[in-house]
């Protein structure tokens, strides 16, 4: 069980990338190195979610990844595992498995292969929440997959389960105004996380988020930026956020594959990953010119640190 279990989920919670062997099994030693590095640079916990490539890992490898991560963390911080799936039953099975491992919260996106109305989306999340005792983070990943979640679904879930059991990671565009709508509709009681990779972190922090879920690749910069935001160091905030945002802008060009590809490129560049292998098939590969620009911006970001 995580040492953070009896605290409110908060802070910088990076989404781990899944290192793979040549046979596309999980590279456990590299995963351990990634988790260790996350805590070395100041993460408050770790997350398994979309850029962990869970939609391509399949049911069994998702469970294996959760098991390896919980073992690797060893009580050093929060663990959040995404359990969204195309069926309510599978989501519940994944949620119960994660809870049995001792996670601090589960997270879920709605199914993406069917168009659900507000009532069906609400019922899906409510069923997951009722199946476990840990908090559920309701994630709207519609900026790159699925449909936006109606504000009424958020409010209804919060009314039924309360802010300790239901928390939120809204990502529908425009992110900042939508986040403020959720905050205001719940009289500030909603606990909200953002997951823009850093490009919207400054704006979202000013709107009252309790935490951020970036990729692991630029974690040292995001931790430094979060601390600058918490302390109100305006000069350092923008010195860090501008090159960070420029890198994320390049990732955004190719959607989810853009994030995963460039993030694994940077983890390889840092020496944390031995290679950049993705779960296939992937729809985009980084070209030499994009890589060169990432390198230039990364150097500027490291200089700002």
Q: Tell me the per-residue pLDDT of 263-302, one tens digit each, with 9 for 90 and over.
A: 999 999 999 999 999 998 988 999 999 999 999 999 999 9
Buried b (16+ CB within 10 A) or exposed e, 75-100: ebbbbbbbbbbeebeebbbbbebbbe
Nearest C-alpha neighbor of 96 from the set 64, 126, 124, 128: 128
Q: Is 107 annotated as a binding residue?
A: no
* Cα radius of gyration rounded to whole Å, the chain: 18
Q: Are 154 and 130 in contact (CB under 8 A)?
A: no
- Kindly provide the b/e burial profile for residues 260-292, where b requires at least 16 CB atoms within 10 angstroms of the residue's own CB: bbbbbbbbbebebbeebbbbeeeebebeeebbe
Alpha carbons 85 and 108: distance in angstroms, whole number: 8
pLDDT band of 145, cuts 50, 70, 90: confident
- Report the pLDDT value the prediction gives residue 1, as an integer from 0 to 100: 45
The dihedral built from the CA positions of residue 12, 291, 31 and 283, taken in this order, carries a sign that is positive
Predicted structure pTM score: 0.95
Q: Which tops the pLDDT comparison, 156 or 282? A: 156
Q: What is the rounded CA–CA span in Å between residue 65 and residue 78?
A: 16
11-233 is classed in which CATH architecture?
A: Alpha-Beta Barrel (3.20)
Question: Could you give the CA distance from residue 22 to residue 57 in angstroms, rounded to a whole number?
Answer: 14
Average pLDDT of the chain to the nearest whole number: 95
Name which of 108, 109, 111, 100 is nearest 133 in CA terms: 100
Amino acid 6: pLDDT: 53
Per-residue model confidence (pLDDT) at position 114: 86
Q: How far is residue 276 CA from its own chain's centroid? A: 19
Q: In Å, how far are 148, 169, 193 from 142, measured between CA atoms?
A: 5, 11, 15
Question: Is 304 within 8 Å of 240 (Cβ atoms)?
Answer: yes
First-last CA distance in the chain: 33
Q: Minimal CA–CA distance to 4: which of 69, 97, 79? A: 79
Handedness of CA 229, 234, 238, 239 (dihedral sign): negative
> Which tokens is 242 given?
């501008």
> Can you give the pLDDT at residue 282?
86
- Burial of residue 160 (CB within 10 Å: 0-12, 13-18, 19+) is middle
- Any idea of the CA torsion for 244, 245, 251, 256, to the nearest 10 degrees? 100
Q: Which residue has the higher pLDDT, 118 or 262?
A: 262
- Residue whose pair of structure tokens reads 């949620």 in the numeric block: 95
């Amino acid at each position: 069980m995580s040492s953070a279990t009896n605290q409110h989920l908060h802070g910088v919670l990076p989404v781990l990338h899944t290192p793979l062997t040549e046979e596309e099994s999980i590279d456990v030693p590299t995963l351990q190195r990634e988790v260790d590095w996350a805590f070395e640079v100041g993460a408050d916990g770790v997350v398994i979610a979309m850029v962990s490539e869970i939609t391509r890992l399949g049911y069994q490898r998702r469970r294996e990844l959760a098991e390896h991560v919980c073992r690797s963390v060893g009580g050093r911080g929060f663990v959040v595992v995404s359990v969204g799936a195309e069926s309510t039953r599978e989501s519940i099975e994944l949620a119960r498995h994660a809870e049995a491992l001792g996670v601090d919260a589960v997270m879920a996106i709605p199914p993406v292969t069917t168009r659900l109305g507000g009532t069906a989306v609400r019922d899906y999340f409510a069923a997951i929440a009722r199946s476990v005792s840990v908090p559920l983070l309701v994630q709207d990943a519609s900026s790159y997959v699925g449909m936006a979640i109606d504000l009424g679904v958020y409010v209804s879930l919060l009314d039924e389960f309360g802010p300790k059991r239901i928390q939120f990671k809204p990502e529908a565009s425009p992110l900042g105004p939508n986040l403020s709508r959720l905050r205001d509709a719940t009289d500030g009681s909603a606990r909200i996380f953002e997951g823009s990779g850093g490009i919207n972190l400054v704006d979202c922090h000013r709107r009252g988020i309790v935490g951020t879920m970036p990729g692991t690749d630029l974690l040292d910069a995001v931790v430094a930026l979060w601390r600058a935001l918490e302390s109100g160091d305006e000069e350092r905030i923008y010195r860090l956020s501008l090159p960070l945002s420029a890198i994320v802008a390049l990732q955004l060009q190719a959607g989810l594959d853009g994030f995963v590809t460039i993030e694994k490129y940077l983890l390889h560049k840092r020496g944390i990953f031995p290679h950049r292998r993705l779960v296939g098939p992937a729809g985009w590969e980084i070209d030499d010119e994009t890589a060169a620009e990432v390198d230039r911006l990364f150097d500027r970001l490291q200089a700002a640190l």
